[in-house]
Structure 1
Amino acid sequence: MQKSSSPIPIIIPLIIGVIALSFSSIFIKWSTSPASVQGMYRLLFTVLLMLPFGIRRISEFRRISIKNWLLLGLSGFFLALHFLLWMGSLKYTTVASSTIILALEPVFIWFGAYFVFKERISVFAKLGMLIAIVGAGLIGWGDIGVSSTNLYGDLLSFIGTVAVAVHMLLGQKLLSQVSPYVYNLSVFSSAIVVFALYNLSLGVSFTNYDNKEWGIFFLLAIVPTVFGHMLFNWLLQYISATTVSMSILGEPVGASLLAVFLLQEKISAVQMSGGLLAIAGMILFMKVTHSNNNHESLLDS
């Protein structure tokens, strides 16, 4: 699938997005409210911030086909499922363990992109992916599975990672037909509905939270959602979902380092080595795929 050229160097939004996402697990750990409430208000505040910029885009919504409306709703459902499971996993395990499972995301996306979009990557790109995943695995090696509680958290994160992979693949398809603004607003809104129905069905309170919690909800909206997820959704216009997900491998590294300073969680020499490996693998993957994309563009021109 041919991508258009980005107006700014891809590396800039990728770095900003990774740093922003790294703060997500920290904010979630600081909160004592249910994951379903955190996810709902995280997206609700984001949508409220987006609305003033959509007045001139009403005609775009009218042109969306019924099929694409259904796909947008499905993408929102899987985004809500990802937030619910992954954010919930942080209640049971450490930042390193939960974010490390996200390292499997590019594997799921690559398999999906292979069958759906017929995307292929070179042997060196696969090697970079493998190095990054092994490195990310080392980050959580000393923590994963040390107890039944941690195992439950790991399982939640794993299923949540499958969900976000489906969400990303749907986004890659939809963003070839709708603008990033329309996509984000539609998907976030449908995810909010999913969360609201979930909370109503379980009798979870919508309002019984202190000022600290509301502050965390707002931070979750601004930092990892606007400067993280929205930025990565925007990037899907210019690079593949597989490449975007590979850059997200930087999140376990950043989140684990932040957890050391802000949550006093331990990080071992093995985990630090894993972080360096993950970064090396990401660089190899990005360099190879970028070179291949440039070569394809020259052949097509």
Structure 2
Amino acid sequence: MNPQKPPIPVAIPLFIGITAISFSSIFVKWSDAPVSIQAMYRLLFTMLLMLPFSLRYIRDVRKFTGADVFKLVASGTMLALHFLLWMGSLQWTSVASSTIILALQPVFVMIGAYFFFKEKTSYSALLGMGIAFLGVFLLIGKGGMSGSQSHLTGDLMSLFGTMAVAVHMLLGQMLLRRIPSFIYSWFVFAFAALFLALYNGISGIPMTGYPLHEWGIFALLAIVPTVFGHLLFNWLMKYSSASTVSMSVLGEPVGASLLAFLLLHESMNGLQAAGGGLVLLGLILFLNVRSSRKSVKELEPK
């Protein structure tokens, strides 16, 4: 089953989405609230924003099968784990290191897509990915990681969070062949928020009593990286493969590192700047090859 033809060029929403998700780590760094609280309200506020547009999809909800519900719960759980681990990693390591590791997401997605969808990748696309990952390693640089125990903890949290979001995206590709992207996103956000609420309750983390500026950050997390990031990427998976959408987030380390330099005064050396350029070059090559490969058939999971 081939992806549908998008109403606008894929590059436009991809650029908007990459820019939006680049702000996520900045907002997390600005907040003093526990990351599980930030993630929970981020999703709840997003659901409230989406709610007025959800009524038209009631008929689609009635068509859900038991397998659909199971996959929605699993996808939401993986998204919640991603937020817990990746947002938590920012307390231990730098924005650049955390988002660079997050950029490894396409590797996990591509492996999963090969086994579940028999999705093949050309040598030219692999070359683009190789260039991009060379840029990722250069972004780290000699001073990108301190080598301390705290940085190692943060880096491992980001790695496991990246694996979780890769599973979330693969489940999404399965579901979006049957379910409209909007209602898929709403239910995934709902199950992820429920998971986080249970986590907060069991952990004894207070869910109220935060100062006004924290609620403002929660709202920004919902509007910018979630609505214009995750929600947009979910919509894009209707028109492109999970591997292509996942590969696009390689642009996040570049945007997030620049924002961290400007807003958080985190340093970025010349080696990291050169790596950022390679990431963009590899990303452009990969997306160009993927969009031109019309002859490759993507099979339904068996």
- What TM-score do the two structures reach when normalised by structure 1? 0.97
**Matching of residues 156-195 of structure 1 within 5 Å:** 156-195=157-196
Q: Contact (CA 8 Å) 2:23, 2:224: kept in 1 or not?
A: yes
- Which amino acid counterpart does residue 171 of structure 1 have in structure 2? G
Deviation of the 1:8 alpha carbon: 0.6
1:35 and 1:84 in contact (8 A); partners too: yes
The answer for the alignment partner of 1:210 in structure 2 is 211
* Deviations 1:140-178, CA, capped at 9 Å, x for gaps: 232235211011000000000000000000000100000
Q: Write the mapping of 1:13-92 to structure 2, written as runs, cut at 5 A.
A: 13-92=13-92
Structure 1 consecutive aligned stretches of length 4 or more whose deviation exceeds 4 Å: 294-297
1:247 offset after TM fit, Å? 0.7
Instruction: Percent identity, please.
Output: 57
Equivalent position SS for 1:76: helix
One-letter amino acid of the structure 2 residue matched with residue 265 of structure 1 = E
Instruction: Extract unaligned runs of 5+ from structure 2.
Output: none
Distance, in Å, in 1 between the alignment partners of 2:137 and 2:247 is 14
Q: Secondary structure at the match of 1:293?
A: coil
Structure 1 match to 2:294: 293
For 1:83, the aligned partner's letter is: F
The aligned amino acid for 1:90 is: L
Contact 1:144 1:154 in 2 (8 A): no
What is the alpha-carbon distance in structure 2 between the residues aligned to residue 195 and residue 140 of structure 1? 31
Offset of 1:296 from its aligned partner?
Answer: 7.0
* In 1: Cα distance, 2:152 partner to 2:123 partner: 33
- After superposition, the C-alpha distances for 1:46-72 in whole angstroms (9 at most, x for unaligned) are 001111111222121111001100100
8 Å CA contact 1:40, 1:196 repeated in 2? yes
- Is 1:106–1:245's contact at 8 Å kept on the other side of the alignment? yes
Q: Deviations over 1:249-271 (max 9, x none)?
A: 00000000000100000000000
Match of 2:280 in 1: 279
- Deviation per residue, 1:92-143 (Å, 9 max, x gap): 1110000000111000000000011000011110111111112022212322
Amino acid at match of 1:244: V
CA 1:295–1:117 in 2, change beyond 3 Å: closer, same or farther?
A: closer
Return 5+ residue gaps in structure 1 as ranges. none
Instruction: Give the deviation of 1:181 after TM superposition.
Output: 1.2
From the superposition, tell whether residues 133 and 207 of structure 1 become closer, same or farther in structure 2 (CA, over 3 Å).
same
Report SS of the residue matched to 2:121.
Answer: coil
Measured in 1, the distance between the counterparts of 2:56 and 2:248 equals 33
CA distance in 2, matches of 1:64, 1:183: 11
Asked if the contact 1:76/1:188 (under 8 Å) is kept, the reply is yes
Q: 1:41 to 1:70 in 2, by over 3 A?
A: same
Q: Which amino acid aligns with 1:64?
A: F
1:208 aligns to what SS in structure 2? Answer: coil
Structure 1 residues 166 and 145, CA, compared in 2 at 3 Å: closer, same or farther?
A: farther
Deviates more, 1:49-58 or 1:29-38: 49-58
Query: 8 Å contact 2:75–2:167 — kept in the other structure?
Result: yes
- Whether 2:100 is the aligned partner of 1:112: answer no
Q: For residues 290 and 2 of structure 2, what CA distance do their matches in structure 1 show?
A: 13
Distance 2:66 2:245 in 1: 28
Residues 136, 253 of structure 1: 8 Å contact kept: no
Whole-angstrom distance in 2 between the partners of 1:144 and 1:162: 21
Which range is displaced more, 184-193 or 132-141? 132-141
Distance (Å, rounded) in 1 between the aligned partners of 2:146 and 2:133:
18
Equivalent pair of 1:3/1:238 in contact (CA under 8 Å): yes
- 2:104 match: secondary structure: helix
- Provide the residue aligned with 1:254 in structure 2: 255
